[in-house]
Amino acid sequence: MGCRRYLLVLFLLVLSWFYCLGQSHSVGISYSPSKFIKHSKKSTFDTPSSSYFWKTNISHKVSGNSHWHRYWNRPTISYNALFFDIGSDEVLGKAYAVFPSMGFDIFAFRKTQFLFQFGTGLGYITKKYDKLSNPTNNAIGSNWNNITQLGLTINQVLYKNLSLSVGTHLTHFSNARTSSPNAGINTVGYVIGLTQRIGKTYTEDSFKFKTFNDSIYNDKKWGGEFLLGYGISEAADIGGPKYGTYFVNAGVSYAISPFWKLISGGEYEYSQSTFQFLYQNFIPENEAKQRATNTAIYLATDLIFGKLAFRVQTGYYLRYPSISEIDVPFYFKINFNVYPFPDDWKARPYIGVLLKSHIAIAQYTGIVSGVSF
């Protein structure tokens, strides 16, 4: 009950703040019958036969005059509270979460709106792995976890300010291997909901795309970046020690627009966890260090929303050093970076958080500090 009260209080605080904005906004509720996805053959629990969630949200369509508002066609920002019945009370428990999300118009026709939505935040799962009381739960090793949700939604105005929404979702819970085990909880399903707009009535003009003024475009298209990062993960043994991973990136960037750029470069990474595992198994120190070292080339894209940038990155491991322990060719990273200083600086420092994974298996969560120029 303590967790539920905490999440409720947090959501009410966000709700109160939101109402103080004085903007046109909406409130909604949605329901989703879902299917649990067991993506690991090593799972030791029975797959839940059915899952579902209830979600409430408060939303507003960005209505400012900032250039990024117009470029991204004034996305919809939502603050969500979610209750998830995973379908296995004894082993996996239930989940509660709060998270912000952003919805982007794909296209609209009259009073019908097609959106892509992405959100991430904090979730609490009532059951976790315990050697004595819950030994078959090898999906989640901690109560507190990250929640990430992707969705495609169609909104149809029914009457004045009331609209119906239908869509699909992919919802993922994970602690990014900060605590083992961490196979994660994944569900997909359909979503149906109702949204009531408070304030301005829906019209066809509400869904029209606003053109971006190219006159503010900065002629500088080519640039670069340099960043340092530190990731942390728990050893594969449940309850084992936590180790750090150090990495350095240097790359060249190309701006498609002031709010969308591509970056390509090289990466060096050193894993303390890999070194300790090998060294304690009597591998010579020099060889253990080489196997704990990885190099890669990477390609990333930054989507920029004012002082916040969302980055998706993929990297290809190089055959140097040739005795690296990595046995997969690619990795994936998701970053959220914040630029705290004025936008007109030629060199723009940033800080951020990230998650690195190999397909469905998280390697670490980390922090970064860098500069783009």
pLDDT 10s digits, 115-131:
999 999 999 999 999 88
**Fold observed for domain 2-207:** Porin (2.40.160)
- CA gap 94, 97 in Å, rounded: 10
pLDDT above 90 covers a percentage of the chain that reads 54
CATH code for the part of the protein at 217-372: 2.40.160
Determine the Cα angle at 239 with ends 293 and 47, to 5°.
100
Question: What global pTM score does this model have?
Answer: 0.81
- CA gap 151, 174 in Å, rounded: 18
The mean pLDDT of 305-325, rounded to a whole number, is 90
Q: What is the DSSP secondary structure assignment for residue 277, as one 8-state letter?
A: H
- CA gap 232, 177 in Å, rounded: 8
Phi then psi for residue 10, to 5 deg, are -60, -45
Helices and strands in the chain, H and E counts = 4, 16
Q: Residue ranges per domain, the chain?
A: 2-207, 217-372
- The three-class DSSP label of residue 12 is helix
What is the 3 state secondary structure string of 54-86?
A: EEEEEEEECCCCCHHHHHCCCCEEEEEEEEEEE
- CA-to-CA dists, residue 310 to 19, 64, 115, 206, 307, angstroms: 26, 20, 18, 26, 10
**211-239 residue pLDDT tens:** 555 555 556 799 999 999 999 887 665 65
**241-293 residue pLDDT tens:** 788 999 999 999 999 988 999 999 999 999 998 898 888 888 899 999 999 99
